[in-house]
Structure 1
Amino acid sequence: MRWAGVLAALTLLFTAPVPALAEEEQGAPVTVPALTDWTPASGSYTYGRSARLVADDATERRVADTLADDLRDAGHGTVPVVPDGARTGDIVIDVQPSRTSLGTEGYELRAGKRLSVTAATETGAFHGTRTILQLLAQGDRVPAGRTVDVPRYKERGVGVCACYIHVSMPWLENLVREMAYHKLNQLLLELKVKSDAHPEANTWGYYTKDEIRRLVALGKRYHVEIIPEINSPGHMDPWIENRPDLQLTDSDGNKQPSRLDITRPEAFAYYTSLIDEYAQVFPATSWHMGADEYMLGSDFAKYPQILKYAQDRYGPDATPQDAFIDFVNRVHAYAAGNGKKLRIWNDGLTGANTVPVAAGTTVEHWLNVATKPSRLRAQGYPLMNAAYALYLVRGGFHSDTKGLYDQSWDPRSFEGEKLVSAGGITGAKISLWPDNGRGETENEVAVALWPALRHIAQATWGAPHPDATYAGFTARATAVGHAPGWRDLTRVPVADGSYTFRASGRTFAAEVERTADGYVTVRTADGCLEVRGGRLTLNVPLQPGVEAAPQTCDPANTLQRWQLEPASGGYRLVNAITRMTVTVTEDGRLVQYPPDQRAPAVWQLA
């Protein structure tokens, strides 16, 4: 596992956009990713109240309808979508499949008396509208000129492990919008979907299927493919905590709750049934099985049944690693049979196997191990750069975005090796991991995420170093601002002060005070309200039913931070880390539960 201070950084993050650097200095209008081939012309385009969006067919109209909504959300008013007859001041969406040189995601933008976006596909036209939004974020005037803007890499992504520590849906929705705004196209999401087939697996951390459907629909509208991951055969503890029959057993008889027993047919059937259930809500063309760190902190020698399985299947020269690769390949075949391509992490490919990984498996390279990126590429595997240098670990390592920018980092630079050419490299992604779940709140994670997101967008779409200095690049990012529809999640709906909380027959008095990262502390006469108790996972009490009670106040204790979530008739109390809501028991205790398990208390504040 892997994831991603404070007041000053948050202040910078949430301030309004500042004007872009002068066009004369930039050579092109300011965007992220930067435009690389801008050809200026005389004059300019001016966006005004009479502007219309011109779109002739259904494909163009979908792009125009989304742009119209985003223009409204960005404060540019209501813009009608009309079928033809472009005039001065209009914005024209033009999808021409014959423009094959633009590829599936590129576009041509022309600015003059009107703005026009031309692309070969709907996705390309959509990307062109993101450029229009960024230009209009800096003012109503766009200098006249032309650009042809085509991405260098096919996969431009963000990975999020929402697999142990729950990540709120508004936060994920913000992420999808920001990704699309910066032309990133792939969200790789490790998470648990609440299972109908396996209710024994529904320990907290899950998302309901309806929540996922809404997120996937947002991704579809914004051309961000959301690819799910259930990490297996390691890191399976969220799924097999209550299934000891599927847990790998060592030679001393000890169960390993995070490791699936790859020698048991029941384990494979269980895992593939989860793939089937995920397919109900994820229409993605890929399936990510993780396949990392299976023997983390141990070795195959403690599990003689794995070697026996490998030798029984592949002969006396087989290695335990062959049993691991066999499991990967069986998942590959199952996914392919359902129209999905397989993705795995690279660290399980140690070279100790005699059985090769199935052709076509995308390898996401994050760790420097014996099998180097150049060898994987020579073997023909699609290779994505998911380098540790791009990680944001919650409460731990944060990617040095400035250092990467100053080095002109690009997706050819893997951990342990830099490749000469980009051939065979699908792209790159940044990754967020929750290793110390209480180390940072979601809002604190966002501080480090947005600069890293803009950097990976630049490095995967265009030239890695468009500005002479990192300060110049951050000024570029500040100029374009946040995506339309992005929500400031640091806003607190009540003022600091003394309140009486009333709900479900329980009343208590408390001081409410906003924290630097946009939550509140709830200070009673006995201390600050905190979730404490039960078994810890990643240093967090993630079990439903754990009590919230006053403890000694500690400003650094993130478990004492709460979100006041508006609800009909009052507010719900949501813990900033566990993301569970407070409910009131019959004996008046405050306990945390997922909102779909117990109705949250709605607090009236007086």
Structure 2
Amino acid sequence: MLIGPVPAARASAEAEAAGPATPPAAAPPAAASPGTAPVTVPALTDWTPRVGTYAFGRGARLVVDPRDREARRVAATLGGDLRAAGHGTVPVVNGGARPGDIVIDVEPARKRSLGREGYEFTAGREVAITGATGTGAFYGTRTLLQLLASGGRIPAGRTVDVPRYAERGVGVCACYIHITPDWLENLVRDMAYNKLNQLLLELKVKSDKHPEANTWGYYTKDEIRRLVALGEKYHVTVIPEINSPGHMDPWIENRPDLQLTDSDGKPQPSRLDVTASEAFAYYTSLIDEYAEVFPAGSWHMGADEYMLGSDFAKYPHILEYARKKYGPDATPQDAFIDFVNRVHDYAATKGKRLRIWNDGLTGDHTVPVRAGTTVEHWLNVRTKPSELIAQGYPLLNASYSLYLVRGGFHMNTESLYEQRWDPRSFEGEKLASADGITGAKISLWPDNGRGDTENEVAAGMYLPLRYIAQTTWGVPGPDATYAGFTARAEAVGHAPGHRDLTRLPVAEGTYTLSDSEGRTDLGDREIRRTADGYATLRSTTGGLCAETRSGRLTLNTPLQPGTPVTEETCDPANTLQRWQLTAVPGGYTLTNAITRMAVHVTEDGRLLQYPTDQKRPAVWRLAPH
């Protein structure tokens, strides 16, 4: 990560709730030869063709057993998605099927063969989708939607499709740099469409208990509730993370009493003092508050890079704490593990299993991490993945090779595909067996917050997301070439309901921009669409562009509310000069593409940036020339 024992095969609780796979084989099968299998992501590897074609038409119905509540719920979701995909209104009915219908069935007795997420899909005169759980049946409907994306006819055939790994995820650091809820909702839909089941979010929820921590970058609780509800509808578990005891500056920069202080008396705003009871109480109060909006059965505490750029020797009281608690042979690292274990125990009282990153498990500690803690392995340190599995820890592959960093490293999906990378390949070690590996995830990090806009990140992760879906559900290389896999991914496209966030709501041209309340105006502005779907606002008189750049920088980004919007030399590469225009009653609002704060106009006509829940955005009238 940047910025930023149970039986080893046992998956995390939230993966089980989402529908874990049957245990993977000791080694993955060879690359698939789909042959006549229709195109999907993940690919169908055991397709048995039959004679004929299923034809979707106006008379199609979604047929369920009226006593099967799970099947009815799946059918209702599918009906909405069919409508969003342009297939019209398809009714949900009870009773027998007729040609052209889609039958959805949940048969718990088939759990032995289908697991909790697998399904059987049969196409002929009608389509039949069967899962042992609602989750399995839901994934069968994703296959149907993908097959319909290339037309209304599906070749007759049958498949039994079961995932190889229980945890198939995307990690997003929506920390520091705010990412819009619309973007996250698009992500959830696309994840489900490609059969990914975990969204791991490091983020800040606006706190009622600790208002001093509400620096910008937060989400309101209502925003989180909507996202979680969408995840539940689409079988994507949203798991929250507050990274600790390092990287705590978003929470404790205004709480010096909780900060780790070195022997020279210098406080560290990013580090929580693991020896202080007040610090532990503060962190657990955040767990309590997050539990109000995140029902997931896991809690991610990060636990990475606590001593990054520093040394335990600068904090002698940490060693003193460790030896007082664990004896004269204890190490400073034991105090760190002690904090992790106390969080584990607290989370358990709330019904949540703990997740951590691996780099704190250096081998310099004598105290073991609590049994059952899921370890997400991203960095090659002395304690290897095979050792963690042997010790009984569930292990997720979160390798650095699967990272996309704003303005920095980007996952080389083509190279990984050609290598037939799979979740057994960790940083520093490749394992012969998949036993003990829960799955894998790609990770999105904002280390250079202004390096890419979120629309650029969305474009850059299109193929990585589909590759991690392929290699965690099925085989690593279903097509002979990467070009073949790219064509496969492009054929199925985005999920129904995916919103095009790159569409400019006005035509390019010159407009007079005036504040609808008459406090100021921006004069004549040339509005030009950027390649990533935002707009630049160039003055036709001075030739300068609107930008926000003032204030203290966080990750190279001006994130302080109330800082001014200024006129600067136009630079097409400068992402802080890109603006999102949003249609609202009476005109348009202007939101910076990077800071995600909107332009507010003061009573005396000054232009300042603020989160929309702090100050009302100005509404701008655009009069074309």
> Considering the TM-score relative to the shorter chain, is it more than 0.5?
yes
Q: Distance in 2 between matches of 1:356 and 1:58?
A: 44
- 1:391 is displaced (CA, Å) by 0.2
Question: Which residue pairs with 2:95 in the alignment?
Answer: 84
Question: Which residue pairs with 2:86 in the alignment?
Answer: 75
Q: Deviations over 1:78-106 (max 9, x none)?
A: 10000111111000000000001101000
Q: Distance in 2 between matches of 1:376 and 1:45?
A: 48
Q: Distance in 2 between matches of 1:182 and 1:496?
A: 35
Q: Is the 8 A contact 1:2 1:432 kept in 2?
A: no
Structure 1 residue 461 corresponds to structure 2 residue 461 = no
Question: Which of the residues 49, 71, 77 maps onto 1:40?
Answer: 49
- 1:455 is displaced (CA, Å) by 0.2
Question: Which residue pairs with 1:578 in the alignment?
Answer: 595
Question: Which residue pairs with 1:64 in the alignment?
Answer: 75
Question: Which residue pairs with 2:172 in the alignment?
Answer: 160
Query: Taking structure 1 as the reference length, what is the TM-score of the superposition?
Result: 0.96
Structure 1 residue 528 corresponds to structure 2 residue 545 = yes
SS for the counterpart of 1:258 is strand
Q: Deviations over 1:366-391 (max 9, x none)?
A: 00000000000000000000000000
Structure 1 residue 176 corresponds to structure 2 residue 188 = yes
SS for the counterpart of 1:98 is helix
Structure 1 residue 320 corresponds to structure 2 residue 329 = no
SS for the counterpart of 1:253 is coil
Question: Which residue pairs with 1:511 in the alignment?
Answer: 526
Q: Is the 8 A contact 2:41 2:489 kept in 1?
A: yes
Q: Is the 8 A contact 2:34 2:46 kept in 1?
A: no
SS for the counterpart of 1:99 is helix
Question: Which residue pairs with 1:135 in the alignment?
Answer: 147
Question: Which residue pairs with 1:273 in the alignment?
Answer: 285
Question: Which residue pairs with 1:192 in the alignment?
Answer: 204
Q: Distance in 1 between matches of 2:98 and 2:508?
A: 52
Question: Which residue pairs with 1:9 in the alignment?
Answer: none
Q: Is the 8 A contact 2:34 2:478 kept in 1?
A: no
Q: Is the 8 A contact 2:322 2:332 kept in 1?
A: yes
Question: Which residue pairs with 1:11 in the alignment?
Answer: none
Q: Distance in 1 between matches of 2:411 and 2:36?
A: 30
Gaps of 5+ in 1: 5-23
Q: Distance in 2 between matches of 1:191 and 1:25?
A: 40
Runs of 4 or more consecutive aligned structure 1 residues displaced over 3 Å after TM superposition:
1-4
Percentage of pairs with the same residue: 75
Q: Deviations over 1:300-348 (max 9, x none)?
A: 0111111011011101110000000000000000001110000000000
Question: Which residue pairs with 1:348 in the alignment?
Answer: 360
Residues 1:592 and 1:369: Cα distance change in structure 2 (over 3 Å): same
Alignment of 1:367-446 (within 5 A): 367-446=379-458
SS for the counterpart of 1:392 is strand
Q: Distance in 2 between matches of 1:178 and 1:455?
A: 13
Q: Distance in 1 between matches of 2:122 and 2:428?
A: 42
Q: Distance in 1 between matches of 2:252 and 2:467?
A: 37
Question: Which residue pairs with 1:13 in the alignment?
Answer: none
Q: Distance in 2 between matches of 1:83 and 1:243?
A: 59
Q: Distance in 1 between matches of 2:469 and 2:253?
A: 38
Alignment of 1:490-509 (within 5 A): 490-503=502-515, 504=517, 505-509=519-523
Question: Which residue pairs with 2:222 in the alignment?
Answer: 210
- 1:44 is displaced (CA, Å) by 1.1
Q: Deviations over 1:509-546 (max 9, x none)?
A: 21111111100001123310000111000000000001
Q: Is the 8 A contact 1:564 1:573 kept in 2?
A: yes
Q: Is the 8 A contact 1:3 1:391 kept in 2?
A: no
Q: Distance in 1 between matches of 2:331 and 2:456?
A: 45
Alignment of 1:584-595 (within 5 A): 584-595=601-612
- Equivalent pairs counted in the alignment come to 587
Per mean C-alpha deviation after superposition, the further-off stretch among 25-34 and 492-501 is: 25-34
Q: Distance in 1 between matches of 2:152 and 2:217?
A: 44
Residues 1:544 and 1:161: Cα distance change in structure 2 (over 3 Å): same
Question: Which residue pairs with 1:538 in the alignment?
Answer: 555
SS for the counterpart of 1:501 is strand
SS for the counterpart of 2:547 is strand
SS for the counterpart of 1:574 is strand
Amino acid at match of 1:78: T
Q: Distance in 1 between matches of 2:335 and 2:143?
A: 49
- 1:586 is displaced (CA, Å) by 2.1
- 1:25 is displaced (CA, Å) by 7.9
- 1:467 is displaced (CA, Å) by 0.4
Q: Deviations over 1:214-247 (max 9, x none)?
A: 0000000000000000000000000001000000
Q: Distance in 1 between matches of 2:453 and 2:3?
A: 12
Amino acid at match of 1:582: V
- 1:585 is displaced (CA, Å) by 1.3
Q: Distance in 1 between matches of 2:34 and 2:312?
A: 59
Q: Deviations over 1:88-132 (max 9, x none)?
A: 100000000000110100000001100000110000000000000
Amino acid at match of 1:517: D
Q: Distance in 1 between matches of 2:545 and 2:99?
A: 61
Alignment of 1:553-568 (within 5 A): 553-568=570-585
Q: Is the 8 A contact 1:572 1:582 kept in 2?
A: yes
Amino acid at match of 1:346: N
Q: Distance in 2 between matches of 1:409 and 1:25?
A: 19
Q: Is the 8 A contact 1:3 1:161 kept in 2?
A: no
Q: Distance in 2 between matches of 1:269 and 1:281?
A: 20
Q: Is the 8 A contact 2:442 2:465 kept in 1?
A: yes
Q: Is the 8 A contact 1:3 1:394 kept in 2?
A: no
User: How well do the aligned residues superpose, as a CA RMSD in angstroms?
Assistant: 1.1
Amino acid at match of 1:511: E
- 1:26 is displaced (CA, Å) by 3.6
Residues 1:204 and 1:388: Cα distance change in structure 2 (over 3 Å): same
Q: Is the 8 A contact 1:287 1:343 kept in 2?
A: yes
Question: Which of the residues 160, 170, 184 maps onto 1:148?
Answer: 160
- 1:27 is displaced (CA, Å) by 2.2
Question: Which of the residues 105, 112, 121 maps onto 1:94?
Answer: 105
Amino acid at match of 1:41: R
Q: Is the 8 A contact 2:600 2:607 kept in 1?
A: yes
Q: Distance in 2 between matches of 1:345 and 1:568?
A: 46
Q: Distance in 2 between matches of 1:237 and 1:417?
A: 33
SS for the counterpart of 2:612 is coil
- 1:398 is displaced (CA, Å) by 0.2
Question: Which residue pairs with 2:2 in the alignment?
Answer: 2
Q: Distance in 2 between matches of 1:237 and 1:575?
A: 24
- 1:2 is displaced (CA, Å) by 3.3
Structure 1 residue 54 corresponds to structure 2 residue 47 = no
Q: Distance in 2 between matches of 1:335 and 1:417?
A: 31
Question: Which of the residues 491, 500, 511 maps onto 1:479?
Answer: 491
Gaps of 5+ in 2: 5-32
Question: Which of the residues 315, 338, 342 maps onto 1:330?
Answer: 342
Amino acid at match of 2:171: G
Q: Distance in 2 between matches of 1:40 and 1:159?
A: 37
Q: Deviations over 1:13-68 (max 9, x none)?
A: xxxxxxxxxxx984201100000111111111110110000012221111001000
